[in-house]
Chains A and B, each alone.
Chain A
Amino acid sequence: MHLQNIMDEIEKTDPEVYERLDTRRNAMQQFATLGGRIALAALPFALGGMFKRAYGQSTSTILNVLNYALTLEYLEAEFYTTGAASGIVPAGTPAVAAINTIRDHENEHVAFLKSTISSLGGMPVSKPTFDFTAKGTFSNVFTNYDTFLAVAQTFEDTGVRAYKGRAAELLGNSVVLSAALRIHSVEARHASHIRQMRSARGAIVKPWITGNDTGGIGSAVQANYNGEELTIQAGVNIAQFVSINAASESFDEPLTASQVQALVSPFIV
């Protein structure tokens, strides 16, 4: 076993290995100290422990989920910040305060996630450059109030699904899991309110999601709602207790990271 070769191989795969292990020099010193202190047979276990600290399932997975969440919160925060400043929200109506409330929450989520990532020793991802027209699909997003609300609804409902889809990866860290759940339910409150705002403007939509219905937004966001129509949960047919519609409404469904990435990518330049 040649430690130098092992480190070289790891370096090819992960150029940041020395940041994780402190520095290359310190890493090699750690190896030397380990080798001097313990029996050769035990060395692999000691190395395992050292790498677990650097790449431990818990911390690296958690940072990955938090940076994923941060990217989505950047999207929402900039969307509402831009929207609130654009004048598209009718002045003198309760909508102004509602949109400002949501804008503030999304910006708070960004700040909170960045500080949580840093406190765990991670590096917050930087904010992407966004295109809220989704490459032209919603070209009037900041000039047509209904389009603005349609995109808002889609972001909120999708955000709820995105957090849900990755909560299980946080099971090892109670503090982070609880915080993520608390953001998740705030997004659901937002979704409920935006849907009510759309309903008040004539859209056929309820505060909750029925089947995979987009609430009249249409095919551009159908993929954001597909899968919500599920009525069997953990093998239990919910439609035996209540209507099919209520059965689908009563459970919100998760999305995987790759599904969310595909849905969000049109909004990222």
Chain B
Amino acid sequence: MNHMKTNLPDTGNTGDVLPANHLGRRKFLSYLGMVGGGAAVLAACRKDKNNNGAPPGSIDLGSGDIGVLNYAYALEQLEAAFYTQVISTPYSGISSAEQSLLTDIRDHEIAHREFYKAVLGAKAIPSLQVNFSSINFSSRDNVLATAKAFEDLGVSAYNGAGQLLTNADYLLLAGKIVSVEARHAAYLRDLISNGSFADNTAVDANGLDLINKPIDVLNTAKTYLQSTLYGGNLPVK
């Protein structure tokens, strides 16, 4: 497949009569309308090529318990990257208490991220590219609102993912993490408006917290990600 790595017309390889080699890969793809606007066709081809349905260029979270752990790993990567930025460029008017506790939260999210990376080992998805262009890191209101949204999203994601796991050890580990995310969420909500730690935007009339399916969580998270995640192989209940 060496010849596929070059875009130059291949005129020297007489042993191969495929048009790709006579025209060069770029021209061949162009011929089929696959360059630029033809991505959808390429996607269809890849799907046929046993790529588990993940669109080209996307990161497949995988299936089964490993998929669920990668899903959590992706969210922890997002949170860790966010708080790393918050601490490296603190918003104007940050108090020392806020600085201290937001640093704690950053460290917790880094701990979660690195934990998943270690546990998943070779099955871990790659490091994600984030896109925080919509966040104004110099604005306290904007940073805290985003942080609250991330924490509530994380709680809802873990609450929805528990039932997707089959391994009791993984469930316990996820449980150890989600309550810490809930502590964060409550703290951030109280920073925004004291007493809103568990108001009716977080807790329903039965006293139950937020819950979301992966598809909905990923749809929200994609605003903040350069990388494209594919959750189509995750377990469904």
> Which residues of chain A have a CB within 8 Å of any CB of chain B?
94, 97-98, 101-102, 104-109, 111-112, 160, 163-164, 167-168, 171, 174, 177-179, 181-193, 196, 206-208, 233-234, 236, 238, 241-243, 246-247, 249-254
Contact = CB atoms under 8 A, between A and B. Distances in A.
Given A167-B172, A177-B163, A242-B110, A252 B237 contact: no
A253 B176 contact: yes
Q: Interface size bucket, B side?
A: 35 or more
Interface stretch (B18-26, B198-206, B218-226): B198-206
Given A178-B211, A190-B197, A207-B183, 13 more contacts: A101-B197, A108-B205, A108-B207, A184-B175, A186-B203, A193-B197, A207-B187, A208-B184, A242-B108, A242-B110, A250-B112, A251-B111, A254-B172
B155 interface: yes
B163 A178 contact: yes
A233 to B, nearest CB: 6
B186 A251 contact: no
A243 B171 CA distance: 25
A112 B175 contact: no
Contact of A189 (B108, B163, B173, B197): B197
A30 to B, nearest CB: 33
A183 B209 contact: yes
Contact of B186 (A188, A241, A254): A188
Contact of B159 (A160, A185, A187): A185
A101 B110 CA distance: 32
B209 A182 contact: yes
B187 A185 contact: no
Given A181-B159, A181-B162, A193 B198 contact: yes
Contacts of B109: 250
A91 to B, nearest CB: 15
Interface stretch (B7-15, B34-42, B113-121, B130-138): B113-121
Contact of A109 (B108, B183, B207): B207
B111 A171 contact: no
Interface string B157-184: 0111011011011011101111111111
A109 B114 CA distance: 35
A263 to B, nearest CB: 17
Contacts of B187: 192, 196, 207
Nearest to A101: B198
B101 A249 contact: no
Contacts, number: 186
> Which 8 A/B pairs are nearest by Cβ-Cβ distance?
A108-B207, A192-B186, A188-B182, A246-B107, A168-B168, A188-B179, A182-B208, A250-B108
Contacts of A109: 206-207
Contacts of A192: 182-187, 190, 197
B177 A179 contact: no
B152 to A, nearest CB: 10
A101 B172 contact: no
B184 to A, nearest CB: 7
Contacts of B104: 206, 208, 246, 249
B126 interface: no
A186 B211 CA distance: 12
Contact of B171 (A111, A168, A190, A193): A168
Contacts of B89: none
Contact of B203 (A105, A111, A249): A105
B33 interface: no
A242 B104 CA distance: 10
A242 B107 contact: yes
Contact of B198 (A163, A164, A189, A247): A189
8 contacts: A192-B185, A193-B190, A208-B104, A233-B115, A236-B115, A238-B114, A249-B107, A250-B109
Interface string B127-160: 0000000000000000000000000000100111
A252 B111 CA distance: 13
Contact of B108 (A111, A179, A246): A246
B194 A171 contact: no
A112 B165 CA distance: 24
